[in-house]
Amino acid sequence: MKTKWGSCNPEKGTIWLNLELARKDIAAVDYVILHEIAHFVSPRHDTTFIAVLNHLMPNWRQIRADLNAAPLTD
């Protein structure tokens, strides 16, 4: 799974993060890490995946919207 902010390899248990995240709000960093960890539970953005996000970070949709609304480099 790969996005502009992060990617993961559940088989190897590894996560990569875009270093541009270091310039973002800490909540955005938490969201991207959580997103990638949730892919260890489900590889797809399915109901199981969404349930993990909803459980651990109820406001994840707002955080994602704020992150994606910002340019990649300010």
CA trace torsion 26, 51, 43, 24 (10° rounding): -10
Nearer to Zn ion, 20 or 43 (CB): 43
Nearer to Zn ion, 1 or 27 (CB): 1
Comparing every residue's Cβ against Zn ion, the nearest one is 1
**Which residues in 1-20 contact Zn ion (CB under 5 A)?**
1
Give kind and range of the element (H or E) at residue 15: strand 14-17
Work out how close the CB of 53 gets to Zn ion at its nearest, in angstroms, rounded to a whole number: 10
Nearer to Zn ion, 9 or 74 (CB): 9
Give kind and range of the element (H or E) at residue 29: helix 26-41
Work out how close the CB of 16 gets to Zn ion at its nearest, in angstroms, rounded to a whole number: 13
Q: Give dist(CA 12, CA 10) in Å, integer.
A: 5
Residues that bind Zn ion (CB under 5 A): 1
